[in-house]
Amino acid sequence: MNEVDQAVRWMLTEKADSVSEPERLLAGVHIRIRRRRNRRRALVSAVAVVVLLAAGTVAWSTDRQDRLVPAQRPSAGPGVVPPSPVGVGPMPTNFPAAQVMLDTPGNWLFTSQQDTRPDAWIQVRISRVRLVPSMGLGTYSTIPVGNLRADVYVVPPRPRGGIQERAGSNYKGGPYLELTYFHRAFGVWVQISASHRAETRPLGVTPDDLAGIARGITAQETPISDQLRFATAPPGLTVGGALTGPRRSIYEFLEPDGDYEAMRPEPGSLDLHGVVTVRVQAGHDHDNPIRVRTFEAGRWTVTKYRRLGTADGPSYLMTIDDRRSIIVEVDERARFTDEEMTHFIGGISLGPDFACCG
């Protein structure tokens, strides 16, 4: 799967990876945000063999011969990453097919990024809750999308030597183009946006281009890349964020009804400060130097770590193979028992799409 790592790198703040307690999480969920280390190495594919087991078919990962993964994707549960309720069609000329991530519960983001310089991107946000146009120094208008009217917000390129932006709660610097509307037939809000890094050059994408993307939205569900599977979630949490692909796989477990914007390092960022974070990494390095204990959890041999002399929450390392490992990080204010974390970690398995971070 084509990863969106380059677009996320310049567009977003550094990915935060701490997490908080299942009781009264929000008081501490944005207390501390640690910088994640960016790991970018070549894609390694996981080879799968199909075997017949009892009445069903399962995929057997050849990375670890004792790890069986159901071939059928689970459909519901707190540990299941929900698919986007709609699909997105072709992008404008020179933009590849969009890749999907789960941003927060009920919010999905499709991203298409050009490989050219300056980096140019188009994003399609699908939401169960209302989306409003950005506010700033741009201009507003409406255009038809089928039998609907869509709000259009445009920020032109910054004049050479001009002021790029001024204070504004949701202001996005130019060049920037955005189309927002409610899709009645599918019952979702849609916000399509486009921008690039060269602040003084024309965008090269028009409102009609975005309207064309809107007309190509279909009722077909779009699954998130099935890199990891979770039999369950930590108590009181649900999987609420998933950025997956060959270069990175990060899952955020959140309160089902949390104030997700308060969990971001700054307004407008896609980074999310979850309660429990699970990520695949290249190598077996660990930021926390103090090894607490090693124990078994399902198919995994798990090492628990803490950072001496700090209030950091515990973290857990599981080795996938000689090149990759899984890190589970818990917010410093979370109070999960060893039994609860053992149960959660024991339910983690590699999905049939696993090809990350080799």
Which CATH number is 149's domain given?
2.60.120
Say how far apart CA 114 and CA 93 lie, in whole Å: 10
3-state secondary structure of 345: helix
pLDDT for residue 42 is more than 60:
no
- Residue 8 inside a domain? The answer is no
203 in the same domain as 127: yes
249 in the same domain as 179: no
pLDDT for residue 217 is more than 50:
yes
pLDDT of residue 107: 93
184 in the same domain as 132: yes
Mean pLDDT, the chain, whole residue set:
76
Enumerate the β-bridge partners of residue 195.
Answer: 121, 176
pLDDT for residue 65 is more than 80:
no
* Residue 13 pLDDT grade (very low, low, confident, very high; cuts 50, 70, 90): very low
What is the domain extent for residue 306? 13-78+224-350
238 in the same domain as 196: no
- How many structural domains comprise the chain? 2
150 in the same domain as 39: no
- Residue 358 inside a domain? The answer is no
345 in the same domain as 240: yes
Among 115-119, 207-211, 272-276, name the one with the lowest average pLDDT.
115-119
Select from 184, 215, 246 the last residue of a domain: 215
338 in the same domain as 229: yes
196 in the same domain as 116: yes
Say how far apart CA 234 and CA 242 lie, in whole Å: 16
pLDDT of residue 262: 57
Taking residues 56-81, what's their average pLDDT? 53
Residue owning tokens 């590699």:
350
Select from 163, 196, 215 the last residue of a domain: 215
Select from 182, 198, 215 the last residue of a domain: 215
* Residue 177 pLDDT grade (very low, low, confident, very high; cuts 50, 70, 90): very high
pLDDT of residue 6: 39
Structure tokens at 109: 């983001």
- Residue 2 inside a domain? The answer is no
- Residue 1 inside a domain? The answer is no
Taking residues 99-123, what's their average pLDDT? 88
pLDDT for residue 54 is more than 90:
no
Q: Where are the beta strands (DSSP E) in the chain?
A: 48-53, 56-61, 68-70, 99-104, 107-113, 120-127, 139-145, 148-155, 176-183, 188-196, 228-230, 238-243, 249-254, 276-282, 290-297, 300-306, 315-319, 324-330, 348-350
pLDDT of residue 312: 76
Say how far apart CA 334 and CA 237 lie, in whole Å: 11
